[in-house]
Structure 1
Amino acid sequence: MRRALRRLALKGEATTEEDCYPLFDCFALGTGRVASVATAALPFVVAHADDPDMGARATLVELLASLSKAVAEADPGLVDPGWHQTWQAQRPQIRALLANPLPEVRRQALPLGEGVGVLLEQWHAETDPTVRLTASCQLKPTVTQQRR
């Protein structure tokens, strides 16, 4: 994990989507677990995703969304005890990704928008049609679930 994060930091603006793939592997998404190494690395991933001088930021935001989903689907006993506190500490930076100047970053950040209110707010504020469409698609299942 440390090596993958260091590579990204050293490449900076030249970071590509392919450079991020080892990081996805380090988080071991799909195992049903969230290890302590993931908790330790989370602030660094959020910082890179929020850094305007970092390349492949949309891919890093995609990783954050994948992590959020993995935690939601994992058995609580398989999630590192420090994860939730660390995630909450990063919430302001994560939420700021929804207002990022890059449409591809905003689009990838939509699943991180916790709740219908945030998605609806984003949908109303969004000027890029691709991000607005994605927000609309995510809103529909959420609104349908709330009606049940």
Structure 2
Amino acid sequence: QARVQPQALAIGFLDIDLFKDINDQHGHEVGDQVLVAVARALGTSVRNHADVIRMGGEEFLVLLPGAGRAAAAARLEDLRLKVAAVTPGLGIPGLNVSASIGLAVLRADSDDLAGLLRRADHAMYCAKRAGRNQVFDAEALAGQPDPQAA
């Protein structure tokens, strides 16, 4: 739709940091509670200005139609903070929930959906490698090697 009717489209590829460790240290029941709490926090936070899709495991895709780069970055940073805020509500000692998020904005002249997803995924992995719990913009990473290719 963004290609047919020219408008901005940004996506965020969100991955819960160290989710395997959460499952290993606290059990799969706690892991399930984390997934539910994160999904709820994301859904409540985006309401009418975005869509959230669980991609599988601990990965979520946030669709931000009509959002330019600056607005999308601000919204994704807000979502990152909302994810971190689920930790106290779970009341589990030693549990810290955070997320790494990769941002990509549709390039009208060159992107298709696969390219957009690939760039957001690359940015998310770069956020993880840089210490986790942050939002990385794919545009700022142009020309850097894909960390998954290593």
Calculate the TM-score normalised by the size of structure 2: 0.29
**More RCO (CA 8 Å, sep 6+):** 2
Q: Which structure: greater strand fraction?
A: 2
* Greater percentage in helix: 1
Q: TM-score, normalised by structure 1?
A: 0.29
